[in-house]
Amino acid sequence: MTTALIIIFVVLAMLSPLTWLRPSKRETRTSLVRKAVIADGMRVDLKAPPLSDAPKGIVGYRRPWPTERDVTPFILVQDEWASDALREAVPGYRWREESRLADDPDVAAALQRFTRTLPEDALMLESSLSGLTLWWGESLDVESCHDWRREFEALHALLIDKAPISHKRRPLVGTEPKMPDA
């Protein structure tokens, strides 16, 4: 009987590290969300957001711009992470870098619709050369992301429509050809 208990204990001790390899519920949920947005043509940025004191675990979901459009850059930050000196863009968010379209009523309405659908952990919205990026803590599952993703796509399309056509084609950021070492 003691031998059987020892054998069972040894087998369980050998198998216990396998439970560490199983992803947590949060890891499974974020993996499904990331796969869904990548399948829709978005990109997931795992680098640090462009905010010096941003909390850990913030990830960027980016939709690239068409290369022939010069979309205006801006950064919109959640009130909790923004200085009171910054101008309010929409309720709950302030301009860190103000857009030239800040006073456009269509853009203001689209931003308001979009920010109302965001989860509590949405830190900032950034428009840069590489695309429109939402920086957030990935607190929602795939089904719950539907509303903000719909409004995100509508805002992305509106910003493209408002952008002038560039006369020179520029490559997407990060896709420039590498120059050989001299």
Query: Does residue 24 sit within a domain?
Result: no
Q: Which of 28, 36, 46, 44 is nearest to 142 (CA)?
A: 36
Query: Does residue 41 sit within a domain?
Result: no
What pLDDT, on a 0 to 100 scale, did the predictor assign at position 18? 67
For 39-54, write each residue's pLDDT tens digit: 999 999 999 888 888 8
Instruction: State both tokens at 17.
Output: 């590290």
Sheet (strand 88-90) strand order? 43-45, 59-63, 131-136, 122-128, 74-78, 93-97, 88-90
> Domain range for residue 88?
47-167
For 6-35, write each residue's pLDDT tens digit: 888 888 777 777 677 778 888 888 999 999
What pLDDT, on a 0 to 100 scale, did the predictor assign at position 63? 94
For 92-149, write each residue's pLDDT tens digit: 999 999 988 888 999 999 999 999 999 999 999 999 988 999 999 999 888 888 889 9
Query: Does residue 22 sit within a domain?
Result: no
What pLDDT, on a 0 to 100 scale, did the predictor assign at position 179? 53
For 52-99, write each residue's pLDDT tens digit: 888 888 999 999 988 777 788 999 999 998 888 999 999 999 999 998
What pLDDT, on a 0 to 100 scale, did the predictor assign at position 157? 93
Query: Does residue 1 sit within a domain?
Result: no
What pLDDT, on a 0 to 100 scale, did the predictor assign at position 178? 54
- Number of domain units in the chain: 1
What pLDDT, on a 0 to 100 scale, did the predictor assign at position 164? 79
Query: Does residue 17 sit within a domain?
Result: no
* Separation of alpha carbons 58 and 101, rounded Å: 26
Q: Percentage of the chain surpassing pLDDT 70?
A: 90
Q: Which of 182, 66, 48, 179 is nearest to 126 (CA)?
A: 48
Query: Does residue 31 sit within a domain?
Result: no
Give the list of residues 6+ apart from residue 63 with CB closer than 8 angstroms, or none.
41, 42, 43, 131, 132, 133, 152, 153, 156
- Per the CB < 8 A criterion, the answer to whether 135 and 60 are in contact is yes
Query: Does residue 101 sit within a domain?
Result: yes
Query: Does residue 114 sit within a domain?
Result: yes
